[in-house]
Amino acid sequence: MDGSRPRDVATHRLPARDYDENFTDLHPPLDRHQAFVEADRCYFCHDAPCVTACPTGIDIPMFIRQIAADNPEGAATTIFRENILGGMCARVCPTETLCEEACVREIAEGKPVKIGELQRYATDVLMDQGRQPFERAPSTGKRIAVVGAGPAGLSCAHRLAVHGHDVTIFDARPKAGGLNEYGIAAYKVVDDFAAREVAYILSIGGIEVRNDCRLGRDITLDDLRRDHDAVFLGIGLGGVNALGLDGETTEGVDDAVAYIADLRQADDLAALPVGRNVVVIGGGMTAIDIASQSRRLGAENVTIVYRRGPDRMGASQYERELAQTDGVKIKFDAILKQLETADGALTGATFAYVEAGEGGLKETGETFHLAADSVFKAIGQTFVADGVESLALDGNRIRVDDDRSTSAAGIWAGGDCAAGGEDLTVVAVEDGKIAAESIHRTLSGS
Average pLDDT, the chain: 95
**Residue 227 has what pLDDT?**
97
Residue 212 CA to residue 230 CA, distance in Å, equals 21
Domains 16-23+240-380 and 143-238+383-444 share a fold: yes
Are 273 and 5 in contact, with CB atoms under 8 Å apart? yes
Residue 6 banded pLDDT, cuts 50, 70, 90: very low
Residue 386 CA to residue 390 CA, distance in Å, equals 10
Residue 16 banded pLDDT, cuts 50, 70, 90: confident
One-letter amino acid at 383 equals: F
- Strands 207-210, 166-170: pairing is parallel
Which one is the CATH code of 16-23+240-380: 1.10.3210.10, 1.10.490.10, 3.40.1390.10, 3.50.50.60? 3.50.50.60
pLDDT, mean of residues 124-147 = 96
Are 395 and 368 in contact, with CB atoms under 8 Å apart? no
The CATH code for residues 32-129 is 1.10.1060.10
Domain 143-238+383-444 CATH assignment equals 3.50.50.60 = yes
Number of CB atoms found within 10 A of residue 369's CB: 12
Domain definitions of the chain by residue range: 16-23+240-380, 32-129, 143-238+383-444
pTM of the predicted model, to two decimals?
Answer: 0.94
Query: Does the pLDDT at position 4 exceed 50?
Result: no
**DSSP state letters, 363-415:** EEEEEEEEE-SEEEE-S-EE---TT-TTS-EETTEE---TT-B-SSTTEEE-G
- Give long-range contacts, CB 8 A cutoff, 24+ apart: 189-194: 189/88, 189/91, 189/92, 190/23, 190/24, 190/25, 191/25, 193/87, 193/88, 193/91, 194/88
- Measured CA distances, 308 to 284, 350, 382 (Å): 12, 17, 20
Query: Does the pLDDT at position 5 exceed 80?
Result: no
pLDDT, mean of residues 293-306 = 97
